[in-house]
Amino acid sequence: STILGGFGKRSRRGFGSIKILNGEKITLQYIKMLLNSIVKNSFFVVQNNKIINRKSGGKYPWIKEIEIGGLNNNVNDLLKKIGQASHKHKDPSIGNARPRMASPVFVSVVEIDTKYYPIITTLNSAYPNNYPRYNPNKINEFKNDIIKTLRR
């Protein structure tokens, strides 16, 4: 939860991220190992610089994929970039106030070797029946705007 999430307001957009001191180096392989040790009968694999969950179906949120974005030297610059992407890609597909729908995309920030990286966790979208039509391309555009810099 400390790697993929955060605490408090706007935690799905990088705010509230915390750092574990004296922990393992964060890599996709490390995150996959953690997920596989927590989730019984897991389907997580590393593929194309992402952790992919090969599970399918279910009308509830479950981790679909996890990506580590490009490096940034300044945490405030990275949070600003995440905020700008949130405003630029305002669409019901990535959350809404009315009707209330939490975003299926979590962006947290991790520090690795004094550099900062966004970790983007995409959940299975479980929208209510009365929710405005959503567009998966909008989710990808939002994520790509954050990730488009250097990949690890």
Q: Alpha-carbon distance 18 to 79, whole Å?
A: 13
- Dump pLDDT digits (tens) for 41-72: 778 889 888 999 988 878 888 889 999 888 88
Closest CA to 95 of 85, 87, 103: 103
Q: Where are the beta strands (DSSP E) in 1-149?
A: 44-47, 50-53, 63-68, 105-112, 115-123
Closest CA to 3 of 77, 92, 112, 91: 112
Q: What's the CA dihedral at 120, 37, 33, 142 to 10 degrees?
A: -10
pLDDT reading at 152 higher than 60: no
- The 8-class DSSP code of residue 123 comes to E
- Dump pLDDT digits (tens) for 85-135: 888 988 888 887 777 788 888 888 888 878 888 989 998 887 777 777 778
